[in-house]
Amino acid sequence: MDIEELKTRVAAGEQLEPWMDLPEEYISAAKRMMEFHMTSEVVGPVHEFWWVPKAPSLEAKMIFAAKSQDEVGHGLGLMTVCEDLTGRSRASYIEEMFDGPPRFMNVFHYPWDEWADPVIVSWLIDGAEIERQTTLLKTSYGPYARAMKKIVKEEGFHYHCGRFLADRMVHAGAEPKRQMQDGLVRWWPRILAMFGPPDSKSTHGETLMSFGLKLSENEALRQSYLTKFVPRILEMGLEVPDNNLGFDEDTQVWSYTEPDWEEFRGLLRGGSPVGADLQKALRESRLLNNWMVTKDAA
Amino acid sequence: MTIWEVFVQTEGGDPFEHVGQVEAPNGDTATLAAKEHFVRRDPCVGLWVVDREDVRSASWPPDVLASGHEKVYRRSLGRGAPDDVLAGRL
C-alpha cells in the first residue's frame, strides 16, 4: 500500500500487521519509535537494580526486584516486536544497546543517589508513562498495541508501589519528608520534559501522528498529567516546586515553567555520564551471565 | 534459538489467548521463560508454548476467510423478513 492509502486506513481505525505490504516510511517511523521505547525499558531498570541492596526495608527491596524484572520484560516484549518488524536479530539489538549511541528517555540520564529518587520515579514517572502508554494501546501497529497491554498493566502496579513508598516517606518524620520534597525539586522539571517539546517544536511528532503510531500530542499528554498529578502531589502533603504553575479556568490550560529543551535534546543526542554507566552495567552483566547463554544454546 | 508463541489460559473454561513470544533453545526453557514473562501477577491455569515454525497461517483474504456472500443461507433471517433486508443480505 502507498503512504496515502495507509494514512486513510489508520485514520479509519485499522491496525496494521507485519505481514502486510507496509510502506518503507511507515516501517522506519515505527522502528524508530519502538526502538527508543525498548531501549528505555531495558536501561531504566539498571537504576532500580542498583537500589535493591540499598532499599531501606525488605518489602522495598522486593518491590524493586519485581519492578526491575517487569521493566526488563517490557524491553523484551518490545524487542520481539522490533525483531519481527525489522528482521534484525536479538543479538544485534543487544550489541547496539551496549555500545551504540544512547537513545533512551531523558529521566534515565540523571543520577538516582538518594532513596527519594527511585521512589519519586516509581510514583511520578511511571505515573507519567501510564499517561502516554495508555494511548499506545490504540497505536496503528498491531503487535506494538498488543505488547502494550502487558506493559500498561504493570506500570499501574509500579505507580501504586511508588505511591505506597512515597506515603511511607512523607509519614516517617520531618527528615524523610524533607528528602522527598528536595527530590521533587530535582525531578519536577525532568518530569515535565519527559513528555517532549510541544509537537510544533518536535521533528518527528507530526509524522508519527499522521501514521497513527502516536495518538496524542506531547503537550496534550503533559496537560492531562498535570490535571491528574498536581492534586495527587498536594494530597501527599508535598509542594509542587514550580512558581509558574497555574490552571486557567477559562482556557482549561495549565501554565508551568518551560523545561530546558536544550538540556533535553542534549541528553537524547549525546547522552550523559550516567547513561554511559548504565550501558557499562549492561555490558558487564552480559559478560557475567554469558556462561548461561552459551550453555542454553548448546 | 527458537521463537515460541505463547498462549495463556487465565481461568478454567477460558480460551487460551495468544499473548506474545519468547525466544528459547527448547520447550522446557520456553515454558519457564513464558511463565516469568507473561504470568507475573494475574491468575493462570494453563500455559502453552508453540514453536513458531509449527504455526500454519491461512493466506486467504478476509472475505474468503469469513465465508461470506456465497453462504448467506447460513444466516437465516427467519420468516417474514422484509424484502429490502433480504435484498441487502445478498
Per residue in A222-241, pLDDT tens?
999 999 999 999 999 999 99
- Residue environment code for A197-227, b if the CB has 16+ CB neighbours within 10 A, otherwise e: bebeebeebebbeebbbbbbbbbebbbbbbe
Strands B17-24 and A253-255: unpaired
| Residue A188, strand partner residues | none
Residues of A with Cβ-Cβ distance to B1 under 8 angstroms: 90, 297
Amino acid identity for residue A281 in this structure: A
By percentage, how much of chain A surpasses pLDDT 90? 84
SS3 B17: strand
Cell of A14: 485499522
Say which of A66, A69, A150 has its CB closest to residue B38: A150
Instruction: Confirm if A119 and A180 have CB atoms less than 8 A apart.
Output: yes
Alpha helix segments (H runs only) across B2-49: 27-38
The C-alpha atoms of residue A290 and residue A159 are separated, in whole angstroms, by 33
Q: Name the residue with cell 518551560.
A: A258
- Residue environment code for A117-127, b if the CB has 16+ CB neighbours within 10 A, otherwise e: bbbbbbbbbbb
Q: Do B19 and A150 touch (CB under 8 A)?
A: yes
Q: Do A77 and B3 touch (CB under 8 A)?
A: no
Kindly report, residue by residue over B50-71, the tens digit of the pLDDT. Answer: 999 999 998 888 778 887 667 7
Q: Nearest chain A Cα to B6, which residue?
A: A77
Structural domain boundaries in chain B: 2-53+60-84
Residue A111 has pLDDT above 90, yes or no: yes
Q: Say if B14 is an interface residue toward chain A (CB within 8 Å).
A: no
A220 pLDDT band, cuts 50/70/90, is very high
Compute the nearest-CA separation of A263 from chain B (Å). Answer: 35
Which region holds residue A282: left if phi is over 0, alpha if psi is between -120 and 50, else beta?
alpha
Q: Do A73 and B24 touch (CB under 8 A)?
A: no
- Segment A171-187 mean pLDDT: 97
CATH number listed for the domain at residues B2-53+60-84: 3.10.20.520
Q: ipTM value, please give it.
A: 0.76
SS3 A77: helix
Compute the nearest-CA separation of B1 from chain A (Å). Answer: 7
